[in-house]
Chains A and B, each alone.
Chain A
Amino acid sequence: MIEIVDTGPLNTIQDLGRLGYRDIGVTVSGAMDPLALRIANLLVGNDAAAAAVELQTFPVRIRFQEKTAFAVTGGGTATLDGETLPPWWMQTADAGQILDVGPSKTSARAYLAIGGGIDVAPVMGSRSTSLRGAFGGNDGRALRKGDVLRLGSPAAGLRPAGGFGVVPPLRELASLFPVADNGALLIRALPAGEHDLFGPDAERFWNEDWKISPQSDRTGYRLSGQALRLTVPVEMRSHGIVAGVVQVPPGGEPIVQMSDANTAGGYPKIAGIVEADLWRLGQVRIGARLRFVRASHAEARMLDGAIAAYVNDVETTAGQVGRALTAMAGR
């Protein structure tokens, strides 16, 4: 078990989401940075989709009540009993040791995976917390000081006490994730159903920088910038939407649907963000600037393939290195 000694608000248990129930109005939820969650799980020998803790407000302090393999990925700066851990790192803690996680200057969210995963009851096939629905995760709510979380049984794969890490994806795949000269995050997207109804303003959507406004959370990011207008007003029936859809409400400032996305909406859709860039958006901090880049389906598939290859490489190599280090430590 692990004890939440201290935490900010809105830190929750998440996995890869509750798929298959949007047709009855159930939000998918799941990690805002699913790549970081996958890697954290693989580092501790879990299935990549196991439940972990998503941290988005800091500081967070956790006490291990038993010997436990853990990994911290994504943003966040972690220390174990005061010793700084490298980023994207796994280690084994002894009973009583304290893990502190603080904020990162560049990324919004950290993921804490535990060997065996967080053992909460699945709801509709997922352990993710749905805060708006108040179900899933730990009693359907954010973590609080004093919470004690049960852990699953760790996998048989060996993990060395001395720990190891991975090269973060933005470094390993740097050539695939460029940043604009002015520092704006470049987010690739495809034109969506009502794109052309914006006429000349559709081009401004692609050419201008947008700022993540404070009215942003796990449900969606509201973007600040010069308002976009339809050439002719349209009335639309509500239709299904997913994370990554960029809508433009009557006010003209786009909304990007994120992990807790509504299941349906009636605003015009100007673009859909490619899935390979959604995890980067999940790490953007409020106030950051981004620019949309028009992508192709082929480019989206290429990026998906590159990320899948990275994840597979981590899974394979982490297992081999873990066994080698454990064998050497026991010589």
Chain B
Amino acid sequence: MSRLDFTDPAVLDAIAAALTAAGVDGIEIAQSSRTLRLVVAGKPPRATVHLDAGPAAAADIVTAPMAGLLDLRTVPSDLPRIVRAGEILACLRVGPVLVPVRASKACTVTRCLCDADALVGFGDRLFDIEARP
């Protein structure tokens, strides 16, 4: 996973669209050297997400592609599980819509880091994985 560039307008636009879709009022993202605050409809943000994962940690986790409730019912959730690159590990529920959480590479999924139906934010760690050749 590459680190996001929060100075990129396209990234900001994507995050704003995700917040709107998730019905979130706003978000504050704090990195080591800077803080970004996005507010939807003029309301103050109610949650703060700290994105300080280093490259080494990011290589062994699968993170949430957007905010939502973790759905472990739509695809098999038994672990450990060997998956191909691009395979769906779980879904994030946004209202009635299910957004796939996919493996970025062939791996073994060893642990789910959140409870079923937990509210997760963009970039939250969802699964521990071990890469396979």
Which one of A163, A318, A328 lies within 8 Å of B14 (CB-CB)?
Answer: A328
B18 closest partner in A (C-beta): A324
Q: Does B95 have its Cβ within 8 Å of any Cβ on chain A?
A: yes
Given known contacts A86-B75, A320-B17, A324-B66, A331 and B96 CB-to-CB distance under 8 angstroms: no
Instruction: Bits for A290-327, please: 1 = Cβ < 8 Å to B, else 0.
Output: 00000000000000000000100110111011011101
**Smallest Cβ distance from B117 to chain A, in angstroms?**
12
Which one of B8, B66, B91, B95 lies within 8 Å of A331 (CB-CB)?
Answer: B8
**Smallest Cβ distance from B88 to chain A, in angstroms?**
7
Q: Does B77 have its Cβ within 8 Å of any Cβ on chain A?
A: no
Please measure, in the bound complex, the distance between the C-alpha atom of A83 and the C-alpha atom of B100, giving whole angstroms.
14
Q: Does B119 have its Cβ within 8 Å of any Cβ on chain A?
A: no
Residue of B4, B65, B100 most packed against chain A (CB within 10 A):
B100
* Cβ–Cβ < 8 Å partners of B18 in chain A: 324, 328
Which one of A86, A313, A328 lies within 8 Å of B98 (CB-CB)?
Answer: A86
Please measure, in the bound complex, the distance between the C-alpha atom of A89 and the C-alpha atom of B75, giving whole angstroms.
12
Given known contacts A165-B97, A172-B96, A328 and B66 CB-to-CB distance under 8 angstroms: yes
Q: Does B94 have its Cβ within 8 Å of any Cβ on chain A?
A: yes
Please measure, in the bound complex, the distance between the C-alpha atom of A87 and the C-alpha atom of B58, giving whole angstroms.
30
Given known contacts A86-B88, A324-B14, A327-B14, A166 and B98 CB-to-CB distance under 8 angstroms: yes
* Cβ–Cβ < 8 Å partners of B97 in chain A: 164-167, 314, 317-318, 321
Is A320's CB under 8 angstroms from B98's CB? no
Given known contacts A324-B14, A328-B66, A331-B8, A317 and B96 CB-to-CB distance under 8 angstroms: yes
* Cβ–Cβ < 8 Å partners of B75 in chain A: 86
Q: Does B102 have its Cβ within 8 Å of any Cβ on chain A?
A: yes
Is B21's CB under 8 angstroms from A320's CB? yes
Is B93's CB under 8 angstroms from A167's CB? yes
Given known contacts A86-B75, A164-B100, A324-B66, A331 and B11 CB-to-CB distance under 8 angstroms: yes
B contacts with A: majority SS? mixed
Please measure, in the bound complex, the distance between the C-alpha atom of A164 and the C-alpha atom of B88, giving whole angstroms.
10
Please measure, in the bound complex, the distance between the C-alpha atom of A162 and the C-alpha atom of B85, giving whole angstroms.
12
Given known contacts A165-B98, A324-B17, A331-B11, A87 and B65 CB-to-CB distance under 8 angstroms: no
Which one of B11, B66, B95, B102 lies within 8 Å of A317 (CB-CB)?
Answer: B95
Given known contacts A87-B74, A324-B66, A331 and B100 CB-to-CB distance under 8 angstroms: no
Please measure, in the bound complex, the distance between the C-alpha atom of A330 and the C-alpha atom of B73, giving whole angstroms.
29
Q: Does B20 have its Cβ within 8 Å of any Cβ on chain A?
A: yes
* Cβ–Cβ < 8 Å partners of A86 in chain B: 74-75, 88, 91, 98, 100
* Cβ–Cβ < 8 Å partners of B20 in chain A: 320, 324
Which one of B10, B17, B88, B96 lies within 8 Å of A313 (CB-CB)?
Answer: B96
- Find residues 46-65 in chain B having any chain A CB closer than 8 Å to their own CB: 65
**Smallest Cβ distance from B41 to chain A, in angstroms?**
14
Given known contacts A310-B96, A313-B95, A318-B97, A331 and B10 CB-to-CB distance under 8 angstroms: yes
**Smallest Cβ distance from A311 to chain B, in angstroms?**
9
A312 closest partner in B (C-beta): B96
Please measure, in the bound complex, the distance between the C-alpha atom of A317 and the C-alpha atom of B99, giving whole angstroms.
11
A310 closest partner in B (C-beta): B96
Which are the 5 A-B pairs with shortest beta-carbon distances? A320-B21, A324-B17, A327-B14, A328-B14, A317-B95
A-B contact pairs, 27 of them (CB 8 A): A86-B75, A86-B100, A87-B74, A163-B100, A164-B98, A164-B99, A164-B100, A165-B74, A165-B91, A172-B96, A310-B96, A314-B95, A317-B96, A318-B97, A320-B21, A321-B21, A323-B17, A324-B14, A324-B17, A324-B18, A324-B66, A325-B99, A328-B15, A328-B18, A328-B66, A330-B10, A331-B10
Q: A164-B98, A165-B91, A166-B98 are in contact. List 16 more A-B contacts (CB 8 A).
A: A86-B75, A165-B98, A167-B97, A167-B98, A313-B95, A313-B96, A317-B95, A318-B97, A321-B21, A321-B66, A324-B14, A324-B21, A325-B65, A325-B66, A328-B65, A330-B10
Contact surface of B with A, Cβ cutoff 8 Å: 4, 8, 10-11, 13-15, 17-18, 20-21, 65-66, 71, 73-75, 87-88, 91, 93-100, 102
Contact surface of A with B, Cβ cutoff 8 Å: 83, 86-87, 89, 162-167, 171-172, 310, 313-314, 316-318, 320-321, 323-325, 327-328, 330-331
